[in-house]
Structure 1
Amino acid sequence: MDLAGKVALVTGGGTGLGREISLQLAGRGVDVAVNYSRSVADAEATVAEIRALGRRSIAVQADVADARQIDAMVSRVVGDLGSLQILVNNAGTTVFVPFKDLQGITEADWDRLQDVNVKGSWLCARAAAPHMRRAGGGRIVLTTSISGLRAGGSSIAYAVSKAGMQMLSRCLALALAPDITVNTVAPGIMDTRWGARWGQEALDRMAREAPLGRYPSLHDIAAGVVFLCENDSMTGQTLVIDAGRHMPI
């Protein structure tokens, strides 16, 4: 798909990986709606950067776990920017609890992770798909994680939610074909505020474990998202970007 002139909605698009995705899409000629939950200043700063690239952009607040807020957000994107062809489900949350500490994850923690990561991706896709079809087709990309492919990560609740997103993407790929492709990008550890919570010693160890001797840059991961938006022949697939650390998968 030629991205020039298309409209994208990037959830969690104002910070970290979401910001990089938003900027790379804008660099391909895409108008970008930047969703945020609480980080309004970051979202507005990203919008300003996109506009400086000559593209239209708006910041849109919504909790992706709330169906009414999602429907209102998508309606505003289409109303303000005219259409919607690309959805990047990047918003997510986690808790840092060792796997062996089963009592450390509260029921509220568990429910929130499933609501934001899994249900939120479904709600956004459900709201966006009719507009994509009216526009002649579209692309949906979910940001998952290596933790969704093998047991590991910040918590059991997080790993389970990311595995759920993997299956959701495959089911959506079947449901929305042939007009809309649905794929996932599964990064390893990233240089973000969340990534920093692992601590430098753990980050250095994970970098050494990767054949490339480092962890992937946000630029490289976002480039994978852009690739999936441009590609016409991939759907229901997962693009692992982790510098080779989990190659046995």
Structure 2
Amino acid sequence: MPYSLRGKNVLVTAGSRGLGALVCEKFAENGSNIAINYYSNVDSAKALANSLQEKYSVKVHIIKGDATAAEDNERLVKETVSELGGLDIIIANAGWTRFAKPGDIYDLSLDEWNRCWQANVMSHLQLMQAAKPILEQNADGGVYLLTSSIAGTLTGGSSMGYSVTKAAGLHLMKHFAFCLGPKIRVNAVLPGLLLTEWGNQYGETAINNMKEKAALKQETSLEDCANVYINLAQNSSMTGQEVIVDAGLAMGSLPK
């Protein structure tokens, strides 16, 4: 039976811009209340919150927090419950990387490797540890959807540290799904090239190369990618799955 989103309380980390902001809009459009986590851009978070409240008449609350900080992950859960009246769905969209030289094992510093690990792996563990007691008590169960990347399945992407830690995050997702079912469903979305503010930093040459290598000869549609989160949240028969949305890029290879 489809899982109804109307009246559900949704926490979206890194939700003020790009893919996260569109995911917030999709859930609000379906009648969900939204907690928008942001790290630094309070103006974007406020503008999005005002827009969602005006268009969809749902509860919206913004929360400043750093996904790499354990105490912030715990606070995000507590504040969402306090402000929205509960927590049913988490969209774990936060992550970290920087552009590094492909194949260079020295480019990222050890501190940067650790930051990748904290943002792309440990943030999920910390969020789930804080949210598990709440999600598993919901009458309809709980949902945890994490944003990964096709870089987690390939030896490519913005940096080696990003690729490696996204792969680890996917394996953690499978452990969550196995250990926390049937009360909590856990799945991952693996986008390809998204032309967000971040994605455009690849530059025109790399972007065109990726489009050419993709089976559909295009970037990943933000709209299509955001819709997958809605589909996964509603599908009560899926857990532990890696859903690739990449215009067929993973069938080729990322540029070096």
TM-superposed CA distance for 1:234, in Å, is: 0.5
In structure 2, the residue corresponding to 1:87 is in which secondary structure?
strand
Partner in structure 1 of residue 27 of structure 2: 25
Report the CA distance between 1:50 and its aligned residue.
1.3
1:117 and 2:120 matched: yes
1:104 counterpart residue number = 107
Unaligned runs of 5+ in 2: none
- One-letter amino acid of the counterpart of residue 13, structure 2: T
**Which residue matches 1:80?**
83
Q: Distance in 2 between matches of 1:144 and 1:230?
A: 19
User: Is the CA contact 2:103–2:160 (under 8 Å) kept in the aligned structure 1?
Assistant: no
Regions of 4+ moved over 3 Å: none
1:51 corresponding residue in structure 2: 53
Identity %: 35
Per the alignment, residue 61 of structure 1 pairs with 64
Counterpart amino acid of 1:6? Answer: K
- Count residues in correspondence: 249
1:190 and 2:194 matched? yes
AA aligned opposite 1:212: L
Give runs of aligned pairs for residues 153-232 of structure 1, distance below 5 A.
153-232=157-236
Measure the CA separation in 2 of the matches of 1:12 and 1:47.
Answer: 13
Do the aligned partners of 2:68 and 2:119 also contact (CA within 8 Å) in 1? yes
- SS for the counterpart of 2:118 is helix
Structure 1 residues 2-42: Cα deviation after superposition (integer angstroms, max 9, x where no partner): 11110000000001000010000101111000001112111
Distance 2:37 2:207 in 1: 29
Partner of residue 147, structure 1 = 151
Which consecutive residues of structure 1, in runs of 5 or more, have no partner in the other structure? none
**Aligned to 1:18, what secondary structure does the other structure show?**
helix
| Cα displacement (A) at 1:44 | 1.2
Query: Partners in 2 of 1:48 and 1:113 — Cα distance?
Result: 32
What secondary structure does 2:113 align onto?
helix
Summarize deviations over 1:148-198 as a string: whole Å, max 9, x none.
011110110000111011001100001110011000000011111211111
Equivalent position SS for 1:13: coil
Q: CA deviation at 1:116?
A: 1.0
What letter corresponds to residue 143 of structure 1 in structure 2? T
Per-residue deviation, 1:76: 1.1
How far apart in 2 are the matches of 1:81 and 1:100?
A: 45
Partners of 1:238 and 1:25 in 2: CA distance: 20
- Measure the CA separation in 1 of the matches of 2:235 and 2:181: 14
Q: Secondary structure at the match of 1:197?
A: helix
Hey, what's the Cα distance between the residues in 2 that align with 1:162 and 1:154?
11
Distance in 1 (CA, whole Å) between partners of 2:19 and 2:119 is: 17
Contact 1:87 1:125 survives alignment (8 Å): no
Whole-angstrom CA distance in 2 between matches of 1:193 and 1:179 = 36
Whether contact under 8 Å (2:77, 2:130) holds in the other structure is yes
Deviation at 1:100, TM superposition (A): 2.7
Compute the TM-score of the two structures, normalised by the length of structure 1.
0.97
Structure 2 Cα separation of the partners of residues 91 and 180 of structure 1: 20
The worse-fitting range, judged by mean Cα deviation, of 27-36 and 189-198 is 189-198
Q: 3-state SS of the aligned residue for 1:161?
A: helix
Kindly report the root-mean-square deviation, in angstroms, between the aligned alpha carbons of the 2 structures. Answer: 1.3
After TM superposition, give the deviation of residue 248 of structure 1 in Å. 6.9
Q: Which amino acid aligns with 2:65?
A: A
Q: Secondary structure at the match of 1:114?
A: helix
Offset of 1:102 from its aligned partner? Answer: 2.0
Q: Secondary structure at the match of 2:146?
A: strand
SS at match of 2:144: strand
